[in-house]
């Protein structure tokens, strides 16, 4: 598999808006290959391996489907079954325990 380079954006406006919408104080969200953070630092996020794996799973989902198709399917899933039962979130929660998801991933 080709190496995957991911980026982290701290103090992201997009993540702040998502946190407000979801009623949380800390959030990580992925757009393409960038993990957007709000309410947490890069260092704190990276200390939580389960959280990193969860977000890397979303990066891989984007990689597999493409930016627009992933966003469309993700939002459709949320509308259809809700955030928690969304198949992309179910897969990402399962990835939290899978150290192998980090193989070939570089976070810069």
pLDDT digits (tens, 9 = 90+) for 4-44: 999 999 999 999 999 999 898 999 999 999 999 999 999 99
Task: Please work out, in degrees rounded to the nearest 5, the angle formed at the alpha carbon of residue 64 by the alpha carbons of 75 and 19.
Answer: 35
Q: What is the pTM of this model?
A: 0.94
Average pLDDT estimate for 78-88: 96
The overall average pLDDT reported for the chain is 96
Contact status, residue 19 vs residue 25, Cβ threshold 8 Å: yes
Per-residue pLDDT for 96 more than 70?
yes
Determine what percent of the chain is predicted with pLDDT higher than 70. Answer: 99
Per-residue pLDDT for 79 more than 80?
yes
Find tokens 């260092």 and name the residue.
43
């Amino acid at each position: 598999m080709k190496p995957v380079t991911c980026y982290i954006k701290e103090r992201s406006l997009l993540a702040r808006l998502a946190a407000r919408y979801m009623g949380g104080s800390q959030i990580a969200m992925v757009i393409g290959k960038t993990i957007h953070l709000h309410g947490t630092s890069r260092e704190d996020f990276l200390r939580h391996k389960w959280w990193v794996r969860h977000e890397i799973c979303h990066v891989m989902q984007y990689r597999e489907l493409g930016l627009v198709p992933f966003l469309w399917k993700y939002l459709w899933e949320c509308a259809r079954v809700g955030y928690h039962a969304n198949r992309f979130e179910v897969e990402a929660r399962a990835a939290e325990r899978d150290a192998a998801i980090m193989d070939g991933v570089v976070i810069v």
